Amino acid sequence: MKKDKNKTNYGADTITVLEGLEPVRKRPGMYIGSTSSVGLHHLVWEVVDNSIDEAMAGHASEITVTLTKDELIKVEDDGRGIPVEKHQGTGLSALETVLTKLHAGGKFGGGGYKVSGGLHGVGVSVVNALSEYLKAEVHRDGYLWQQEYQRGKAKHKIKKIEKSKKTGTTIYFKPDPSIFTELEFDWGKILDRLRQQAYLTKGITINIQDERKEHREKFYRFYFEGGVKSYIKSLHRSKTVKNNTIFYVDREVSGNRIEVALQYNDEFNETVLAFANNILNNEGGTHLVGFRTALTRTLNNYARQNNLLKEKEENLSGEDVREGLTAIISVKLTDPQFEGQTKGKLGNAEIKTYVEQVMGEYLYTFLEEHPKEAEAIIGKCVLSAQARLAARSARATILRKGALEGTTLPGKLADCSSRKPEESELYIVEGDSAGGSAKQGRNRRFQAILPLRGKILNVERARLDKMLANNEIKSLVIALGTNIDSQLDIEKLRYHRIIIMTDADVDGAHIRTLLLTLFFRHFPELIEKGYVYIAQPPLYQLKKGSQSRYVYSEDEKTKALKELADRKIKDDEEINEKKVAGVSLQRYKGLGEMNPEQLWTTTMDPEKRILKKVNIEDAARADQTFDMLMGNNVLPRKNFIQTHAKKVENLDV
């Protein structure tokens, strides 16, 4: 991406101040969502977003993010550099104003940014407030300028260090350990985010390097000339596609840029990612509505005019045309109106019209220019319509059956007596043996048990009508009470904790993955609302004399053995049960090996049990993972198994 440093007069007078910075340290969650890992990484996104804004405005071409040896995050760009002259409103330098005043930045006035994706001037000041240490270096006006901060306050006035012919900004920061509960940055998470940003800002180079001592030094460089078209190629790496040529359009309408790419695959799930100013809108918004309206109308018009739909056949529905669809919608606009603090949904009404207009015109042209691929896409949609009608009949049958059976729900469900969803929980248990122990050991007031017979259907490879013919899935749908897919009603959920409890072996892991695939694909709201959990049964029981304890991992076992030993164990000494006199060790391969009391004590008692909540931070990454593990394409799965096989412990064959 070429830089244009003469587009606007970007100086101190373009920095607008709205309010102070004091509330940030008192209530950090209001600004970054949480003080856990999510909030920690949000700091990185905010600093990077400022550099991305420079790139989107045409002033920067390269960004480098470094995880340094000193546990600092370093973000460097070759943009114009934050202004350093005195700001008339604050009496401070423009740099210090931006870093110490909330809502101070170049995104409010007319001379800063036409399009921006950061927190509108909140971002970098919040990062400063929540950092133990921050240093800003600015190459601008022929010099290198520098200023350091501690917990949001300047340690000294801005310094002119030396002459410089470069331009750009470098921010170093170290999160404050008194604020954050987690301080470990996740290399993979940062890598994925920066790769995504490179796709969304075509022509920019983004580098990422890890210099931390405990990590092997890594370096990646991302550059995608194809923009979101390249993004689609990446998402379809392991899938069989219907249209080999990706539909792609990049147009400007009334000062708003609309960039869309789409391609169909032979699977049944939809992956559509909508972005506004490079921010992922998980809840969609007006740009997504415009896209879907145009997609359905255009495909129906083309199908009718080319006799790909018979006269007696009804029009394709929105659900039909989205089966097997992968699409990226990226809009860039001057004044985005988001709903909610997390910017999950775009609200600009005019964007719906613009996206609809661009999609309708260019998609129809694409279909006319690629008739064979158009026929393949319409054929896929027609099959989807036929399956939808079959599924509608199957769904209606299930609901009638569920309503008639009332409290005697199918699938050997042992229901709880409570009718309050907020206190009720459903254990999905592998096998009748474990189901029997769970039914006897549970608290009948609020714990329900649903045993599964064998492995459920792999829903990654099945349409809804085939799924609903599967007895185990049918039982689960009726037990939950929510219906499924587009008919899902979260208000009718009968349990607010749905707990997957399987054996600690390969079969148990497979059943757990099948269930997670089902929830991710067909009950996504249950995961989003935090209702899905995984039970953690113990791996071992250790006994020595009258002492007995359960351990849940190999590390816990080692620690427990050291504590039970009669002698002091050296730190580097390998230890096992044979080296500790009087210790007996029982390995639990299945839940059925435990009696009801043991199962309650270790895995079901709310006071003692370990539950892992299932959450999805990156839907696209999760989609690719489930597709790779559970989809039709064997090679990526084979490569994954070969890569990770050596890391598997306690493999039961």
Catalytic residues: 430, 503, 505, 507
How many other β-carbons are positioned within 10 Å of the β-carbon of residue 120? 15
3-state secondary structure 601-648: HHHHCCCCCCEEECCCCCHHHHHHHHHHHHCCCHHHHHHHHHHHHHHC
CA atoms within 13 A on the CB side of 445: 3
Helix (H) or strand (E) holding 120, with range, is none
Burial 583-602 (b: 16+ CB within 10 A, else e): bebeebebbbbbeeebbbbb
Two tokens, residue 277: 């100013």
Cβ 170 vs Cβ 75: under 8 Å: yes
Q: How far apart are CA 556 and CA 558, in angstroms?
A: 5
> For residue 175, what are its two tokens?
């999160």
Backbone angles phi, psi at 206, to 5 degrees: -120, 120
Measured between alpha carbons, how far is 41 from 189 in angstroms, rounded to an integer?
8
As given in the structure block, the two tokens for residue 263 are 């391609």
Beta bridge partners of 218: 210
Q: Report the alpha-carbon distance of residue 452 to residue 428 in Å, rounded.
A: 7
Do residues 235 and 90 make contact, with C-beta atoms less than 8 angstroms apart?
no
Do 499 and 610 form a contact (C-beta atoms < 8 A)?
A: no
Spatial separation of the C-alpha atoms in residues 162 and 142, rounded to whole Å: 9
Give the residue among 315, 360, 328 at the shortest CA–CA distance from 263.
328
Evaluate whether 255 touches 336 at the Cβ level (below 8 Å): no
Distance CA 628, CA 635 (A): 9
Helix (H) / strand (E) containing 47: helix 37-56
Query: What is the number of other CB atoms lying within 10 angstroms of the CB of residue 436?
Result: 18
Rounded Cα gap, residues 461 and 110, in angstroms = 52
Query: 60, 51 in Cβ contact below 8 A?
Result: yes
Written as one letter, the residue type at 541 is: Q
Provide the token pair at 27: 């209530």
Tokens describing residue 604: 């079901």
Instruction: Tell me the β-bridge partners of 583.
Output: 544
Which pair of tokens denotes residue 76? Answer: 């460097």
SS (H, E, C) 96-130: HHHHHCCCCECCCCCCCCCCCCCCCCCHHHHHHHC
CB atoms within 10 A of CB 155: 11
